[in-house]
Structure 1
Amino acid sequence: MGSLRQVVIVCGFAALAGCDGDSLESFGGPTMGSTYSIKYVRTPGVPGPDEVQRQVEGVLAEVDRQMSTYRGDSDIERFNDLPANSCQPMPESILHLVRTGERLAEASNGAFDLTVEPLLNLWGFGPQAREIKVPDAVTLEQVRQRVGHAHLRIEGQQLCKDAAVEVDFNSIAAGYAVDRIAAQLTRLGIQSYLGEVTGELKAAGRKPDGSLWRIALEEPRDDQQVAERIIGVNGFGVSTSGDYRNYFQQDGQRYSHTLDARTGAPITHPLASVTVLQPSALMADGLSTLLLILGPEQGWEYAEKHQVAAFFVMREGTGFVTRSNKAFEQLTAVKP
């Protein structure tokens, strides 16, 4: 399981200053193997971009140090290296994400699972992957024995495991980082901003010209970038999960990096991408992955039942068809 983020940010820069002298500041840089970007409205008393960038990158460094599966000294990778029946003290942020993953696993009947890293590696998509190929049935079944959220438990401030499971936060860590950044910007007195980390984002307030922050939802193509729809966002996290950039083909079959933990194999249904809007970028991140795994029918039923604002893009022939629910249309009814 993984979450490919392909939300394209479209911000109008025609009006950089409002009538009261407010200005639109922006900065960004590399993070989590990808990039981040911040745009905010600087009002009197709000720090300049150098100070805001320093604080934002402090948040990103902490998240990377705790949750990265691409560095051996992170908190979660040290836990992943432990054998079965081990415990390790963990910061509250990691325990919070483990609890979030447990709720999402239970809500999806096990389709979403934070412990799929061994499967990702086996199929060639993980941080320790050696070869991209379809695994044989015996090896797949062996690796599946090391997967399952039920093997994790929290004891006080410790994370414990009763099997040699490995936790992968890639499906929710970026959304969590966005929420942390949004909270930090608010503490700095910034009321209008657009924060994005590896494509996960959250926007609040309006630009100096009074318009909403505009987000373009990308058509799920692997050959070019095409905007499927542009929405205005104020006060919500936005996450798009898709299966169209990270995949391989073997014997005429397409294998996505998005895995269903119930089968241990990539998804095969025609749902190409899902965009979710939620007050929390963390939950938008997790739910977009959950719905993508469940597919066009089960995912739609889940979104309707739980009132998750969702925008679905399905493959049909050589093109795509889209579907959005009432909750999504209500949140995006205000024109950008």
Structure 2
Amino acid sequence: MRLSFLRPVMVVTSVAALAGCWFSDETLETFMGPTMGSTYTIKYVRAAGAPDVVKAQAEVEAILAEVDLQMSTYRSDSLIEGFNQAAAGCQPMPEPVLELVRYGEQLARRSEGAFDLTIEPLLNLWGFGPQSRGQRIPSADGLTAVRAEYGYQRLQVRDGQLCKDRDGIQVDFNSIAAGYTVDRIAARLQQLGVSSYLVEVTGELKAEGRKPDGSPWRIAIEAPQSEGRVAQQIIQLDGLGVSTSGDYRNYFEQDGQRYSHTLDPRRAAPINHKLAAVTVLDNSAMQADGLSTVLMVLGPEQGLAFAEAEKIAALFVVRDENGFVSHSTAAFDALFPTQGEQP
């Protein structure tokens, strides 16, 4: 079964090695599987009262199945796809869907339209959406026409219902659903008595606590290169979600021009600045997920200014004539004071 939200950039991976040996009743458990067009991985410390792997995996996969049924744009029977295909009006929706729409509207307003949950028609037109017909540069007439088919202002939550004010408005949760799913899984593990875990879903990640030997969860932020995976920085996590957005894997080229899968809703076109990747850390993986998209659209100058003003912990990797240069915000430096700006 093809699942919901294919993440074009697998940006954060766990550092798997465990340091040394230890003597403890706690054990490190791991399980993984396919989801959202990619994979998920769960690592958790099983102490007294915590569930075994069979129980934990069943709980995790129940959440993944629920998210897929509610929010997938790759299955015609999902709740959001039913809404997308319906005429203008309102439909009852479960609270998780409404929660994501509310957060999407908040991000859209904060970023003055750099974030927009309704750009699926634009994604399809450029060849990056679930109903696309191949990657290509749209015609001027096509771009003019598609501007009438999206806009976050056309989507509202009213009395427990999701409403759109014109036919053709479609919702795509690709930019926040994986982070939301990470938060849901982390919360469920805590309810089950797990206090130390690393949850990763299609590259979005959250970690809390420590491993049985007392060492922290360490993750690698991937360097922005199209071939292979190389760690740019390794950081320690405890209670934070991590999301990276980048333009270096999912794109197409035509006549020597590179067209990124990250689209700017304000311009109805792919981003065309020098920001290669941005990593965001936040207590909420969903918020980190959405904010990394916002900053990627805004670019190196506007994005950095926005992140500083909003006190976002972010690491920007920008192309220059010598390769790449990294810039971090004050909030990022406060979390990782030895990182700073790097060549």
Task: Report TM bin, short chain.
Answer: over 0.9
2:218 pairs with 211, 214, 218, which one? 214
Q: Does 1:237 align with 2:245?
A: no
Structure 2 residue identity aligned to 1:105:
A
TM-score (norm 2): 0.94
Once residues 43 and 8 of structure 1 are traced to their aligned partners in structure 2, the CA distance between those partners, rounded to angstroms, is 24
Distance 2:173 2:133 in 1: 20
Q: In the alignment, residue 191 of structure 1 is paired with which amino acid? A: S
Contact 1:296-1:314 within 8 A present in 2 as well? yes
Distance 2:274 2:320 in 1: 8
Residue 123 of structure 2: aligned partner: 120
Equivalent runs, 1:174-189 vs 2, <5 Å:
174-189=178-193
Code of the aligned partner of 1:142: A
Whole-angstrom CA distance in 1 between matches of 2:252 and 2:219: 29
Higher relative contact order (CA 8 A, sep 6+): 1
Q: Does residue 56 in structure 1 map to residue 96 in structure 2?
A: no
1:13 maps to which residue? 18
Q: What corresponds to 1:32 in structure 2?
A: 36
What CA deviation, in whole Å up to 9, does each residue of 1:126-145 have, x standing for no partner?
A: 00000210000111110110
Partner of 2:112: 109
Is 1:297 matched with 2:301?
yes
Q: SS where residue 223 of structure 1 aligns?
A: coil
> 1:76/1:318 Cα in 2 relative to 1: closer, same or farther (>3 Å)?
farther
Q: CA deviation at 1:154?
A: 1.4
Q: Could you list the runs of 4 or more consecutive aligned residues of structure 1 that deviate by over 2 angstroms after TM superposition?
A: 2-5, 11-15, 17-20, 332-335
Report if aligned partners of 1:4, 1:246 keep a CA contact under 8 Å in 2.
yes
Q: 5 Å matches for 1:42-191?
A: 42-83=46-87, 85-163=88-166, 164-191=168-195
User: In angstroms, what is the RMSD of aligned CA positions?
Assistant: 1.4
* Post-superposition offset of 1:292: 0.5
Q: Which 5+ residue runs of structure 2 have no aligned equivalent?
A: 1-6
Paired amino acid for 2:232? E
1:3 to partner: Cα distance = 6.9
Distance in 1 (alpha carbons) for counterparts of 2:334 and 2:313: 9
Deviations 1:157-181 (A, max 9, x none): 1111012210000000000000000
Question: 1:11 Cα deviation (Å)?
Answer: 2.6
Contact 1:232 1:334 in 2 (8 A): no
**Equivalent position of 1:255 in the other structure:** 259
TM-score, length of structure 1 as denominator length: 0.96
- Kept in 2, the 8 Å contact 1:144–1:264? The answer is yes
Deviation at 1:18, TM superposition (A): 4.3
Report how far residue 263 of structure 1 moved: 0.7
Q: Which SS does the other structure have where 1:145 is aligned?
A: helix
Give, in whole Å, the separation in 1 of the partners of 2:14 and 2:126.
Answer: 31
Please report how far the alpha carbon of residue 14 of structure 1 lies from its aligned counterpart in structure 2 after TM superposition. 4.1
Distance in 1 (CA, whole Å) between partners of 2:68 and 2:138 is 30
- Count of residue pairs brought into register by the alignment: 332
Residue 280 of structure 1 corresponds to which residue in structure 2?
284
Q: Which runs of 5+ in 1 are unaligned?
A: none
State the AA in 2 paired with 1:323. Answer: H
| Inter-partner Cα distance in structure 2 for 1:310 and 1:3 | 20
Comparing 103-112 and 325-334, the one that deviates more: 325-334
Which of 332, 339, 342 aligns to 1:328? It is 332
Rounded to whole Å, the distance in 2 between the matches of 1:140 and 1:4 is 26
- Using the aligned pairs only, state the percent identity: 60
